[in-house]
Amino acid sequence: MRHLFSSLLSRERIAGGALVLAVLQVLASVVGFFRDQAFSIMFPLDSDPLGVASVYIAAFRPSDLLFQITVMSSLSVVLVPFLAGHLANHKKEEINTLLTSTLFVFGCIFGIAALILAAFFEQVAPYFVHFEGETLALYIQYGRIALLTNFLFVFGSALGQFLIASQRYWIYGLTPILWGLCTVAGTYLLTPYFGALGPMLGTVIGTALYLLLRLIASFRLGFVFQFPKYLLHPDLRAMGWLILPRILALGALQLQLLLLDRIASGLGTEAIALNQFARNFESLIPGIVGISLAQAAFSPLSQSAALRNIPLFMGQLRRGLFFNIALSIPGTIALVLLAGVGAWLIRLGPELVPIFVMALTVYAVAVPFESINYMLLRSFYSLKNTSQPAVASVLACIVAVTLATLLVPTSGVYALGVAFVGSQIVQTLYLSTTLRRTMQRSFRGAS
C-alpha cells in the first residue's frame, strides 16, 4: 500500500494527471450519452426517414480522414515530445516559436485541402456512403460544414498539445465536454428552427468555444505568438520523417472508419448510428482508463526518453500497464452487465434494444486490448518512433475491413463489432512484441 500510495504521488504525476483526465472523461462520456439520447429523441432511429443521426456521424468521416493525415499526424503524438523537451530545458522562446509556426503551417495545409474537398464533395459523396435522395443531399451539406469545424480544430488541437506537455489537464479535458454540450443544445434548441441542421449548428458553436478557451488557457501559461526566423520551425523539419508513418497510421484508422460506415450504410439508415451508439458506450472504459493514463504518462515518458533515463521510463511504463489491466477488466464486466442501461439512456425503440445490447456485448471484448493499446502507442511516440504504430494501424485496418466485409452478409451490424475486436487484438499483439526492440535501439549506449 505504501508503494502504491507513493507511486500515486510520484513527481511524474502520472496517476494524479490520469485521475483528473479520468474524471473529465467520465463527464465527457455522460455528455456523449446525452448527445446520443438527443439524436434518438429528436430523430428516432426507427422512424426518421432521413436518418439524421447516421448522416451526422458519417459526414465527419471524410473531414476527419483529411484532418488526421494532414494535421493530427504531426500534432497528436509528434509535437508533444518536442514541446516536453523544451519544457525540460526551460526554453520558453522555442516553445513560442514552435507553436506559432505549427498553427500557421498546419492551418494553411488543412485550409487549402478542405476548400478543395468542399468544392468537389457533391461528386465524391456517393463513393463514401450508400445514401440516396434527400439523405444524400443532407450528407453533402453536413460534410461541408464538418470541414469548417475541423479547420477550427486545427488550432484548438495544437494548443491542446501545449496544455498536455505542460501537464495542464483540466482545461484540456473540459473543452471537449463543452463541445459536446453545444451539440446537445443545438439538437434540442435549434432543430425546431433550423430542422436537420440544428445539431450541426450546435457543433459549430461548440467548436468555436473549444478553440477560444484553449487559446485563453495557453496565453495564461505564457504562450505568445512569436514567429521563428524561418516560417518552418527547425523542429517541424525534424518532425518530417516521424510524420510520414503517422500519416499512414492515422490514415489507415480513418479509412477503416470510413469503409465500415460505407458497409453499414447499406444495412439501413439506422445502422451507422446504432453501431456508433454501441461503440460510444464501449469506449467509456478505455476512455476513462486507457486514454487518461496514456495522456497523463505521455509528457513524463517523453521527458524520461529525452533524458535517456531507462529506469524511470520503465517504471512509468509498468505503472501505466498495471493500472490499465487492473481497471479495464472489471470495467468490461460492468459494461456487459449495464448494456440494458445503455439502451435506456439513449432511449432506443423496443425493437432496437436487443440489437444494441448484443452489439455492445461484442464490442466489450475489445475493452482491455483497446485500453492497453493507448499506453503502448504513447510509449512508442515518446521514443519518437512512429513507424511501428503505423504498421500496427495498417494491419488493424486490413483485419477490420476484411472481417466486416466477410461477416456482414450473415451477421449484419454485429459484424462491425467483431471487426473492431479483431483489429484491437492484432494491434496489441504487434505493439507489445515490437516495443522491446524499439526501446533497445532508442536507449543504446545509455546507462
Could you tell me the sign of the dihedral formed by the alpha carbons of 40, 42, 45, 51, in that order? negative
- State the pLDDT at residue 270: 86
pLDDT string in tens for the chain (447-residue length): 344 334 433 444 555 556 676 677 778 878 988 998 999 999 988 888 888 999 999 999 999 999 888 887 767 656 776 776 777 666 777 778 878 878 888 888 899 999 999 999 999 999 999 899 999 999 999 999 999 999 999 888 888 888 877 777 788 888 999 999 999 999 999 999 999 999 999 999 999 999 999 999 888 888 777 776 666 666 666 666 667 777 887 788 889 999 999 999 888 888 899 999 999 888 888 888 888 788 778 778 887 877 777 778 888 888 888 888 888 999 899 988 988 888 888 888 888 889 999 999 999 999 999 999 999 988 888 887 878 888 999 999 999 999 999 999 999 999 999 999 999 999 999 998 898 888 877 777 555
- State the pLDDT at residue 119: 94
- Give which of 59, 46, 58 is closest to 268, Cα–Cα: 46
- State the pLDDT at residue 298: 79
- State the pLDDT at residue 11: 40
- State the pLDDT at residue 142: 95
Cβ(186)–Cβ(203) below 8 Å:
yes
Cβ(156)–Cβ(210) below 8 Å:
yes
pTM, full prediction: 0.79
- State the pLDDT at residue 106: 84
- State the pLDDT at residue 197: 94
- Give which of 30, 31, 38 is closest to 56, Cα–Cα: 38
d(CA 432, CA 300): 20
136 contacts: CB under 8 Å, gap ≥ 6: 125, 126, 129
Task: Look up residue 9 and give its three cell numbers.
Answer: 504521488
